[in-house]
């Protein structure tokens, strides 16, 4: 295996980030967890939620510890900011509101920005760059995986100075995504009391799905973006893992694919912020396509989603009953 960077005390270079983008419930946590099984990858979960859920609510890290008790995140905070107490959370949240919102995507897609907006986006992107650099140094990994998913954050990060940003645009059949967002799912990372993941109506999911995917197509004209369909990922996990690692500049390493062997090995938990409850499962990882929506999504909901998301369903090859024809990469 190739030597990991930043393990020999050399000055920290430019962090390389694989940003997993797309609408939630598209398999990003599974992809992240599989990538994280190799020591050259450090998967940090959804950094976009760090400010509220980790720093604010002290929710549990993917390792099972509370954020403030997780040694990895303490090291990251020290390296990035001289400790998390040095971060003004309110200031970051106000900055996030000014920069990282879907409505700001058209502005962030431009070639230049007025000085004040440029200063905001640079400052916001710098916070993430520091976290990525610190995570790479603390773990010794060559690539940091952030599965924040939101297109607006990916657009903000393209303004970062000194960041090697590579975006995996993950797409999944809109009908499967709509079915998943309609289910009640408890959030195991909440320590005090009980909380549930939000649910959305089929029509709302259709709008979000179209907006997010459209944004990543726009981003692909301005940044390194690799498109990946959930259905192709689950049909060929090993081939997908090789492709994604290759896109991240990582070597074709048989060891990195060991998690996919049969019988499956138990995964190492990642120090991940937020994400699907799968990250706490601890059991063997089996990659298989979840097709429950075909029987369980009500006919009316299916009709709404099918019609409202038609243009991109055509583009991705999600047509008809079978719904997953091969599609050309664009
Ligand atoms: Zn942890």
For the stretch 303-314, pLDDT in tens is: 999 999 999 999
Distance CA 120, CA 115 (A): 9
Rounded to the nearest angstrom, the distance between the alpha carbon of 269 and the centre of ligand 1 is 8
CA 127 to ligand 1 centroid distance, Å: 20
Q: What one-character DSSP code corresponds to residue 162?
A: S
pLDDT in tens, 3-58: 334 333 334 679 999 999 999 888 998 899 999 999 999 999 999 999 999 999 99
206 belongs to a structural domain: yes
Is the residue at 290 inside a domain?
yes
Note the pLDDT of residue 9. 34
* pLDDT of 330 above 50: no
- pLDDT at position 263 is 65
* Ligand 1 centroid from CA 272, angstroms: 7
Nearest by Cα to 105 from 18, 16, 213: 213
pLDDT tier for residue 194 given thresholds of 50, 70 and 90: confident
Is 3 domain-assigned?
Answer: no
- Domain tally, the chain: 1
Whether 323 is in a domain gets the answer no
User: What would the two tokens of residue 320 be?
Assistant: 């008809």
Distance 309 CA to ligand 1 centre (A): 38
CA of 144 to the centre of ligand 1 (A): 15
Q: Is residue 162 part of a domain?
A: yes
* Per-residue pLDDT at 85: 96
Q: Ligand 1 centroid to 137 CA: how many Å? A: 15
Whether residue 11 is contained in a domain is answered as no
Q: Which domain holds residue 82?
A: 16-316
Q: How far is the CA of 44 from the centre of ligand 1 (A)?
A: 9
Please tell me the distance between residue 194's alpha carbon and the centre of ligand 1 in angstroms: 20
How far apart are the CA of 73 and the centre of ligand 1, in A?
A: 6
DSSP run (H or E) holding 45? strand 41-45
42 located within any domain: yes
Query: Is-contact 67 61, C-beta < 8 A?
Result: yes
C-alpha 243 to ligand 1 mean position (Å): 27
Distance (Å) from CA 256 to ligand 1 centroid: 21
Which token pair is 146?
């952030």
Cβ neighbours of 217 (radius 10 Å): 15
Q: Does residue 330 fall inside a structural domain?
A: no
Burial of 142 by CB count in 10 Å (0-12 exposed, 13-18 middle, 19+ buried)? buried
- pLDDT digits over 95-127, tens only? 999 999 999 999 999 999 999 999 999 999 999
The pLDDT of residue 279 is above 50: yes
**The domain that contains 177 carries what CATH number?**
3.40.50.300
Average of per-residue pLDDT across 251-264: 82
CA distance 116 to 216: 25
């Amino acid at each position: 295996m190739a030597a990991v960077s930043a393990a020999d005390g050399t000055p920290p270079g430019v962090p390389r980030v694989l940003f997993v983008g797309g609408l939630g419930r598209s398999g990003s946590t599974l992809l992240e967890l599989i990538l994280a099984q190799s020591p050259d990858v450090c998967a940090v979960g959804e950094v976009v939620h760090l400010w509220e859920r980790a720093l604010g609510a002290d929710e549990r890290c993917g390792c099972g510890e509370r954020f403030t008790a997780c040694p990895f995140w303490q090291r990251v905070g020290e390296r990035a900011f001289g400790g998390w107490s040095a971060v003004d959370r309110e200031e970051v949240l106000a900055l996030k509101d000014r920069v990282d919102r879907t409505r700001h995507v058209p502005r962030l897609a431009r070639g230049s920005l007025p000085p004040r907006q440029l200063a905001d986006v640079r400052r916001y992107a710098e916070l993430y760059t520091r976290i990525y650099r610190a995570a790479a140094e603390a773990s010794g990994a060559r690539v940091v995986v952030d599965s924040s998913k939101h297109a607006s954050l990916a657009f903000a990060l393209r303004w970062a100075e000194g960041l090697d940003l590579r975006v995996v645009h993950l797409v999944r059949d809109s009908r499967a995504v709509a079915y998943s967002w309609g289910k009640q799912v408890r959030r195991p990372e909440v320590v005090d009391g009980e909380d549930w993941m939000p649910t959305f109506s089929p029509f709302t999911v259709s709008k979000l799905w179209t907006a997010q995917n459209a944004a990543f197509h726009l981003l692909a004209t301005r940044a390194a973006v690799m498109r990946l369909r959930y259905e192709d990922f689950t049909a060929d996990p090993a081939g997908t893992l090789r492709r994604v690692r290759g896109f991240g500049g990582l070597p074709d390493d048989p060891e990195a694919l060991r998690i996919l062997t049969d019988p499956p090995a138990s995964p190492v938990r990642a120090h991940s912020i937020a994400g699907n409850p799968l990250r706490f499962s601890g059991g063997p990882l089996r990659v298989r396509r979840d097709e429950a929506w075909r029987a369980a999504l009500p006919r009316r909901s299916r009709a709404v989603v099918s019609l409202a998301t038609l243009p991109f369903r055509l583009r991705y090859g999600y047509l008809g009953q079978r719904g997953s024809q091969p599609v050309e990469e664009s």
